[in-house]
C-alpha cells in the first residue's frame, strides 16, 4: 500500500491506495496544533478502516502546510499533489480551484497533468475557509448549515467589506437591521466567491474546471462560485482528500524511482 498524508492548516487527510493507484481508504481528522499527532491519528484511522497495519505500507509522501513535521519518506508540494490527484480522477480538467482552511489556490494544467501556472492567496483569511468559519461562529450556524440555508435565500445581502474583520462587523449590522440570516449567508458565499474569482481570473478558467478542498463541500459556496465562473464545475466525491490522493500517487512514483536507483547501485 502507498500512503499520502496532507497535513493541512485545518485538517489532516490520509489516503491509502494500492499499487494500481486505486483508493482503498481515507480519513480526515482536525490538524490541531501538533501535525505529528494528527498525522498519526489520520493514518491509524485510515489503516483501521481497511484492516491494514504499518507493515503493509511501502512508501509514504506527505504534503500540506505541516508536511515537514510528518513521518514520511518524502514530501511534495500541495500544488503538485492537488494537480496529480485531480488529473488521475478527471483527465479533462484544465483549471483547479482549491479552497482550504487557510489558503486558496488556482492552478492551470495541461492535458498531461503538468502545471502551467498557478496563483495563491495565503496572506489573508478572506477567500479561505477561515472566513466562513468566523461567520458561522457569529451567526450561530454550523458550517454544514451555511450550505443548506444558502438555497433558502431570495435576495442575497451585499457584503462590501473585503476584510474578514470588517465583514464580521458588517454582518452583525445587517442582522441587527433585520436582514434575513439566509440572505446574509448567501451574501457571504457571494463575497468569498468574488474574491476567489478575482484571484483565479489572473490565470483564466480553461474548461473543465474542478473545485477541490474542504470548502468545496459547501454547496452554497459551490453555487456562488459556479455562477461567477459561468460553468458547471467538476466536483470530486470527496474534494477534501484530493491533495492527499495526489501525495499517495507521488508515493508510488517515488518508490519506483528509489527502487531503480538501488538497482543501479547494485549492478
Stretch touching ligand ATP by CB under 6 A, among 41-49, 184-192, 213-221, 257-265: 213-221
What x-and-dash track marks residues 88-117 binding ligand ATP by CB under 6 A? ------------xxxx--------------
Largest interatomic CA distance in the chain: 78
User: Would you count residue 75 as binding ligand ATP (CB under 6 A)?
Assistant: no
User: Would you count residue 66 as binding Mg ion (CB under 5 A)?
Assistant: no
CA distance 260 to 263: 5
Nearer residue to ligand ATP within complex by CB, 217 or 228: 217
Could you tell me which residues come within 8 angstroms of residue 158 by beta carbon, excluding any fewer than 6 positions away?
A: 187, 190
129 binds, among Mg ion, ligand ATP, none (CB under 5 to 8 A by kind): ligand ATP
- Write down the H helix ranges in 78-128: 78-89
Out of 65, 118, 205, 211, name the contact with ligand ATP by CB under 6 A. 65
Nearer residue to ligand ATP within complex by CB, 17 or 99: 99
CA distance 30 to 9: 9
DSSP E strand stretches across 93-248:
95-99, 104-109, 115-121, 209-212
CA distance 72 to 213: 22
Out of 217, 228, 235, 253, name the contact with ligand ATP by CB under 6 A. 217
Out of 4, 85, 127, 129, name the contact with ligand ATP by CB under 6 A. 129
User: Would you count residue 38 as binding ligand ATP (CB under 6 A)?
Assistant: no
Cβ-count burial of 162 within 10 angstroms (0-12 exposed, 13-18 middle, 19+ buried)?
A: middle
133 binds, among Mg ion, ligand ATP, none (CB under 5 to 8 A by kind): ligand ATP
Nearer residue to ligand ATP within complex by CB, 78 or 255: 78
Nearer residue to ligand ATP within complex by CB, 95 or 218: 218
Could you tell me which residues come within 8 angstroms of residue 73 by beta carbon, excluding any fewer than 6 positions away?
A: 59, 60, 61, 251, 254, 255, 258
Cross-strand pairs, 209? 95
User: Would you count residue 133 as binding ligand ATP (CB under 6 A)?
Assistant: yes
Question: Where on the chain is the footprint of ligand ATP (CB under 6 A)?
Answer: 8-11, 31, 64-65, 100-103, 129, 133, 143-144, 147, 213-215, 217-218, 240
Amino acid at each position: 500500500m502507498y500512503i499520502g498524508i496532507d497535513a493541512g492548516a485545518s485538517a489532516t487527510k490520509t489516503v491509502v491506495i494500492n499499487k494500481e493507484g486505486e483508493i482503498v481508504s481515507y480519513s480526515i481528522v482536525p490538524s490541531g496544533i501538533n501535525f505529528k499527532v494528527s498525522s498519526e491519528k489520520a493514518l491509524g484511522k485510515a489503516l483501521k478502516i481497511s484492516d491494514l497495519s504499518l507493515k503493509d505500507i511501502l512508501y509514504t509522501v506527505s504534503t500540506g502546510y505541516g508536511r515537514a513535521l510528518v513521518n514520511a519518506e518524502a514530501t511534495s508540494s500541495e500544488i503538485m499533489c492537488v494537480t496529480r490527484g485531480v488529473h488521475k480522477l478527471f483527465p479533462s480538467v484544465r483549471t483547479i480551484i482549491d479552497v482550504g482552511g487557510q489558503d486558496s489556490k488556482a492552478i492551470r494544467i495541461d492535458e498531461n497533468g503538468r502545471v502551467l501556472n498557478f496563483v495563491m492567496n495565503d496572506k489573508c483569511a478572506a477567500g479561505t475557509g477561515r472566513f466562513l468559519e468566523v461567520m458561522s461562529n457569529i451567526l450561530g450556524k454550523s458550517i454544514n448549515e451555511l450550505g443548506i440555508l444558502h438555497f433558502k435565500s431570495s435576495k442575497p445581502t451585499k457584503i462590501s467589506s473585503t476584510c474578514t474583520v470588517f465583514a464580521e462587523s458588517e454582518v452583525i449590522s445587517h442582522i441587527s437591521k433585520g436582514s434575513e440570516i439566509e440572505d446574509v449567508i448567501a451574501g457571504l458565499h457571494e463575497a468569498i466567491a468574488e474574491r476567489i474569482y478575482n484571484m483565479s481570473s489572473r490565470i483564466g478558467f480553461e474548461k473543465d474546471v474542478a473545485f477541490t478542498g474542504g470548502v468545496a463541500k459547501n454547496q452554497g459556496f459551490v453555487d456562488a462560485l459556479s455562477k461567477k465562473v459561468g460553468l458547471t464545475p467538476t466536483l470530486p466525491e470527496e474534494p477534501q482528500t484530493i491533495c492527499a490522493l495526489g501525495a499517495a500517487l507521488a508515493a508510488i512514483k517515488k518508490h519506483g524511482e528509489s527502487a531503480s536507483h538501488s538497482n543501479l547501485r547494485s549492478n
